[in-house]
Amino acid sequence: MKLSDNSKLQSDSATQGPAIEVENLTCAYGDKTILKDVSFSVKEREILFIIGGSGCGKSTLLRCMIGLLAPKSGEIRYFGKSFLKASQEEQRDILKSFGVLYQSNALWSSMTIAENIALPLEQYTTHSKEEIAEIVALKLEQVGLPGVQELYPRELSGGMKKRAALARALALDPKIVFFDEPTSGLDPVTARGMDDLILEVSKIFGTTMVIVSHELSSIFSLAHRVILLDGEVQGIIADGEPKKLAAESHNEQIRNFLLPGQLRSL
């Protein structure tokens, strides 16, 4: 697999400004509050993992960040621009700056792989059919799936579906990509290949990535930083580099969550 040769290489994320700012965010389903007054930022080109036990609010936070769930209160900014206070047209422009890979892949079963990947291009650009076909072919090549345009999702393996969904997430050359459990349901070898692909995309395109995951192997091999959510606290109980948190945190809950992965990475 060969990605674009003229893309900028990833630089140290610590030198970049914030791509995402979440400020005092409260997320709820009806009267049930899931997260309360959550604040954090994500630097440009950083790979941030949102981690925590089942029911802690990981997916809820992601849904708020990508506009699928309106938060009860708080603010979300992308590259300094408010997402929640933006007009419909401004939100549309912001949405164009990021892609999403859903846990279920969210590929339309009645459409070919090419038609699935073409959807955001048809919705957000004025490219001709010929130009869209060229972009689709390029994106599939970038994720290691050349020549599958005319296949349907049911004809692909689980790992191939993940790659096709990533190709769609990358269709608009987004500055940010959100992942919801990108290696869920994959065998260890296929999961490692997906991790390698995510890291390669990050390094070559300089993409900011926010990844919801409970897979410790992925966390320790990819994450620049993690935020650890807790359901009882309804917020963040740890924020930092995962190996450092596992080795140095005085919080037993944090160590118990991360230490098994730290030991496996040694």
Contact 181, 158 (CB under 8 A): no
pLDDT at 252: 85
217 to 28, 100, 127, 159, 259: CA distances (angstroms): 30, 21, 40, 17, 11
Contact 174, 168 (CB under 8 A): no
Higher pLDDT, 247 or 176: 176
Per the listing, tokens 């990819």 go with 222
Q: What does the pLDDT average to over 166-189?
A: 94
> 22 exposed, middle or buried (CB, 10 Å; 0-12, 13-18, 19+)?
buried
Q: Is the pLDDT of residue 6 over 70?
A: no
pLDDT at 153: 95
* Domain-wise residue ranges, the chain: 13-97+174-265
Contact 21, 75 (CB under 8 A): yes
pLDDT at 1: 42
Q: Dihedrals φ, ψ of 105, to 5°?
A: 75, -35
59 to 100, 157, 238: CA distances (angstroms): 13, 25, 17
Q: Within a 13 Å sphere around the CA of 54, how many CA atoms are in the beta-carbon half?
A: 0
Assign domain 13-97+174-265 to its CATH superfamily: P-loop containing nucleotide triphosphate hydrolases (3.40.50.300)
pLDDT digits (tens, 9 = 90+) for 119-157: 999 999 999 999 999 999 999 999 999 999 999 999 999
Burial letters for 240-257: b for 16+ Cβ neighbours within 10 Å, e otherwise?
Answer: bebbebbeebeeeebbeb
pLDDT digits (tens, 9 = 90+) for 201-253: 999 899 999 999 989 999 999 999 999 999 999 999 999 999 999 888 888 88
Query: Cα–Cα distance between 100 and 168 in angstroms, integer?
Result: 8
Fill in the DSSP letter of residue 180.
E
Q: Is the pLDDT of residue 255 over 90?
A: no
Cα 133 to its chain centre, rounded Å, is 25
> 126 exposed, middle or buried (CB, 10 Å; 0-12, 13-18, 19+)?
exposed
Query: Cα–Cα distance between 55 and 72 in angstroms, integer?
Result: 18
Fill in the DSSP letter of residue 154.
G
pLDDT-based confidence at residue 41 (cuts at 50, 70, 90): very high
Q: What is the pTM of this model?
A: 0.88
Per the listing, tokens 């995402």 go with 20
Q: Which two tokens stand for residue 17?
A: 């400004």
Per the listing, tokens 């936070």 go with 61
> 178 exposed, middle or buried (CB, 10 Å; 0-12, 13-18, 19+)?
buried
Query: Cα–Cα distance between 170 and 135 in angstroms, integer?
Result: 10
